[in-house]
Amino acid sequence: MSQDFETKGPKERKASFGFAAVDESAKQGLVNAVFSRVARNYDLMNDVMSGGLHRLWKSDFVSLLAPPKSTVPYALLDVAGGTGDIALKALEVAGAGTRAVICDISAEMMEVGRARGARFGDRLTFVQGNAECLPFCDRSFDAYTIAFGIRNVTHIDTALAEAFRVLKPGGRFLCLEFSTVEVPLLDTLYDAYSFNAIPALGALVAGDSASYRYLVESIRRFPDQKTFMGLIENAGFERARYRNLSGGIAAIHSAWRL
Ligand code: SAM
């Protein structure tokens, strides 16, 4: 007897995990395993891989955020905040009215952040959560930041919609992320460095090349500057713009919920 129907259920949608295509439902678990492995060496590896450049990019990012220096209440949400670089820099330059919440899916990354941020007492809090389903009420924050985080989420559009939802009208969206190099020759050099040196440094310093290969591959899978700006606008944000850092190795996208 012939069988004229499909016996398997519908195929699951795929997501990219670096250069690999994985079932959408599997991606976040794979990402979480990466950050659980790298948490202890994360800050050191950032310095080693970038020669300290990430510190300049993050300083630029926080300067652009410009949290108030006064005692006026100001609520910052740093999503995928990990070990705390952005929230800690923001609290260092802000006045006493600024409070920051780091929301990250990885308990291990936030554990490092907690130790680093203890000096800020109750001005800094940590909440475990997923950027795609934030555990906060609508219109709760004056600013939403995400640095080197959105590349890791499974559905970028859902994370952006969540950013829009939790911002107050008049709230600021700022994203720092690896992007597409727009300077000829630098792109070739950067490719050679990232595909060869970064996994090797991961092996040498952290005993883990696979996680750093994921880093390099995930950067290549992330939309370029203009495409990402379009996604930000699609989420409802206005006055979206971007600024390249180091020729487009990274970029800062900013926008407003008006
Ligand atoms: N923002 C920090 C920085 O700039 O150093 C950490 C960036 S680290 C490359 C990426 C962070 O994104 C990790 O801490 C990881 O746990 C977090 N992350 C990945 N997927 C996430 C998700 N769906 N929701 C929230 N955080 C997520």
Q: What percent of the chain has pLDDT over 70?
A: 96
Confidence of residue 7 (pLDDT cuts 50, 70, 90): very low
What pLDDT, on a 0 to 100 scale, did the predictor assign at position 12? 83
Cβ-in-10-Å burial (0-12, 13-18, 19+) of 7 comes to: exposed
Q: Per-domain residue ranges for the chain?
A: 14-182+213-257
Q: Is the CB of 154 under 6 A from ligand 1?
A: no
List pLDDT tens digits, range 9-38. 567 899 999 999 999 999 999 999 999 999
Task: Pull the structure tokens for residue 219.
Answer: 């950067």
DSSP state letters, 146-167: EES-GGGSS-HHHHHHHHHHHE
What pLDDT was estimated at residue 130? 98
Asked whether the beta carbons of 82 and 104 are under 8 A apart, the reply is: yes
Average pLDDT over residues 130-149: 98
Please give the distance, rounded to the nearest whole angstrom, from the Cα atom of residue 149 to the centre of ligand 1. 4
Inform me whether the pLDDT recorded for 106 exceeds 90: yes
The residue type found at 108 is E
Which band of pLDDT confidence, cut at 50, 70 and 90, is reported for residue 206?
Answer: confident
pTM: 0.95
Across the chain, mean pLDDT equals 94
* Atom 14 of ligand 1, residue of closest alpha carbon: 82
- Topology adopted by domain 14-182+213-257: Rossmann fold (3.40.50)
The reported pLDDT for the residue numbered 2 is 41
Q: What is the pLDDT of residue 8?
A: 54
Q: State if residue 187 touches ligand 1 by the CB under 6 angstroms criterion.
A: no
Q: What are phi and psi of 139, to 5 degrees?
A: 55, 45
**pLDDT 10s digits, 220-247:** 999 999 999 999 999 999 999 999 999 9
Question: Cα–Cα distances in Å, from 6 out to 10, 23, 249?
Answer: 9, 20, 46
Question: What's the CA-to-centroid distance between 131 and ligand 1, angstroms?
Answer: 9
Contact 157, 231 (CB under 8 A): yes
- How far apart, in whole angstroms, are the C-alpha atoms of residue 159 and residue 27? 15
Residue of the CA atom closest to atom 1 of ligand 1: 81
pLDDT at residue 10, rounded to an integer: 63
- Among protein residues, the one with the nearest Cα to ligand 1's atom 18 is 80
